[in-house]
């Protein structure tokens, strides 16, 4: 029996790939034999060179996921992909009751966290359909399930990630008949640069700790491969037991 977890010969595009979960997802894809297309507002050149130096084919592009035209340019330059992962996200902590620029911050969060995945879908879904199928993975959050696990998490982030989950459901119903499987991952708190200063009461976490980035990245990589061929419209709750439902 063929190993359905391998990604040999498959090219996977990942947004938000410069660090955190996105960078680790790229490493997992590479470890499974896949090629990677790294996309981020920041440069991914160092990570690309690391992969190429290890014999893993990699490309990198700087693009703003909130700008569809920039993603169209990436798609034209990188060539066909077997899977696309919408991982780019931000999580500001400014108080939502503050009048100090919070409205602008709200729109920034929605642009990156929700419009970004929509743009990934608008750019790559037609290409995946045209080539006969593929995978699209969107990274949501436990915040979109239960409102967050830290008192400083704000409603713009919660709403944006809940929107990502709803988008997975909406797209999956429409694109499964066209050969594209669309699924999501909802991580619990993860040890990344984005959450480094976030206070968490890990004593109340069932596993007593936050996740390591690779513990979220491996499920993402799984959803990109043939082992997930019968999955469509699923949100994998990877949260150490914090949310069960």
How high is the pLDDT of residue 58?
A: 98
Condensed to tens digits (0 to 9), the pLDDT of residues 73-107 reads: 999 999 999 999 999 999 888 888 877 788 999 99
With 0.85 as the threshold, say if the pTM is over it: yes
Q: What angle do CA 172, 157, 21 make, to 5 degrees?
A: 70
Condensed to tens digits (0 to 9), the pLDDT of residues 38-55 reads: 999 999 999 999 999 999
Give, in words, the CATH class of 11-238.
Answer: alpha beta
- Residue 193 reports pLDDT greater than 90: no
Nearest alpha carbon to residue 226 among 1, 67, 3, 61: 3
169 counts as catalytic:
no
How high is the pLDDT of residue 153?
A: 82
Contacts with 233 (C-beta within 8 Å, 6 or more apart), sequence order = 168, 169, 172, 173, 176, 182, 183
What average pLDDT does this structure show over 196-221?
88
DSSP 121-180: HHHHHHHHHHTT-EEEEEE--THHHHS-SSTT--HHHHHHHHHHHHHHHHHHHHHGGGTE
**Which sequence spans correspond to the domains of the chain?**
11-238
How high is the pLDDT of residue 152?
A: 76
**Sheet with 11-15, side-by-side order of all strands:** 58-62, 35-40, 11-15, 83-86, 134-139, 180-187, 235-238
User: Active site residue: 157, 169, 175, 200, which one?
Assistant: 157
At 184, phi and psi to the nearest 5?
-135, 165
């Amino acid at each position: 029996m063929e190993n359905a977890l391998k990604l040999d010969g498959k090219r996977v595009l990942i947004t938000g790939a410069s660090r955190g979960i996105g960078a680790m997802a790229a490493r997992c894809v590479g470890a499974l034999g896949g090629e990677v297309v790294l996309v981020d507002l920041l440069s991914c050149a160092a990570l690309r060179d690391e992969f190429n130096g290890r014999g893993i084919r990699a490309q990198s592009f700087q693009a703003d996921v909130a700008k569809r035209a920039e993603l169209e340019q990436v798609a034209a330059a990188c060539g066909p992909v077997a899977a696309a992962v919408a991982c780019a996200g931000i999580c500001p902590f400014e108080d939502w009751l503050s009048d100090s620029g919070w409205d602008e911050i709200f729109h920034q969060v929605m642009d990156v966290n929700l419009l970004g995945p929509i743009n990934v879908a608008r750019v790559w879904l037609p290409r995946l359909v045209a080539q006969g199928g593929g995978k699209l993975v969107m990274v949501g959050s436990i915040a979109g399930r239960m409102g967050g696990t830290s008192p400083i998490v704000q409603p713009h982030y919660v709403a944006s990630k809940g929107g990502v989950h709803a988008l997975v459901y909406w797209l999956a119903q429409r694109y499964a008949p066209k050969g594209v499987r669309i699924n999501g991952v909802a991580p619990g708190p993860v040890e990344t640069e984005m959450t480094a200063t976030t206070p968490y009461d890990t004593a109340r976490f069932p596993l007593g700790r936050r996740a390591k980035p690779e513990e979220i990245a491996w499920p993402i990589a799984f959803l990109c491969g043939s082992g997930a061929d019968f999955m469509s419209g699923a949100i994998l709750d990877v949260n150490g037991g914090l949310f069960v439902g």
